[in-house]
Amino acid sequence: MDKKFVSLAESVPAEKFTWRPGEGVRSVSEVFLHVAGANYGLPRLVGVQPPASFQPKGWETSTTDRAKIAAALKESFAHLRQAATSLSDADADKPVKLLGAESTTRAALAFMARHMAEHLGQSIAYARIQGVTPPWTEERQRQQSKKSQ
């Protein structure tokens, strides 16, 4: 999923990063930064702290620079991957608090995956509204076109 987020962020024109579908709704850049912030913050649920350099306050509005946002996504997904792979099989059923309720590490990881998927769908919709076809869709369409020739 990280490659899809990064390639989509790199495909949306930089001037479209401030676009938002309505007042009070996250912009393109804010959605991408929200995902990166969650990738740093949500692993706290399973005992993995974010890097000291991550400051959640104001994170989602900290930049609209496409290159910085793509880099933040890459770095945050690396952090999330390291957090998940540092867990042992025995950790899966370890109790954790998830949104104020008793849960397990396994459920927390599933929550993180659902969160990413939800915002990937949102980002795809934002991109398509801006006339951007997701790069993986564009590639599949090229391949299908070659096969039919």
Taking only the tens place, the pLDDT of each residue in 42-79 is: 999 888 999 999 999 999 999 999 999 999 999 999 99
Confidence at 143, pLDDT banded by 50, 70, 90? confident
> Given this model, what pLDDT does residue 142 score?
86
Q: Could you tell me which CATH number the domain at 2-148 has?
A: 1.20.120.450
Q: Which long-range contacts (CB under 8 A, 24 or more apart) does 85-91 make?
A: 86/48, 87/46, 91/46
| Domain spans of the chain, in order of start | 2-148
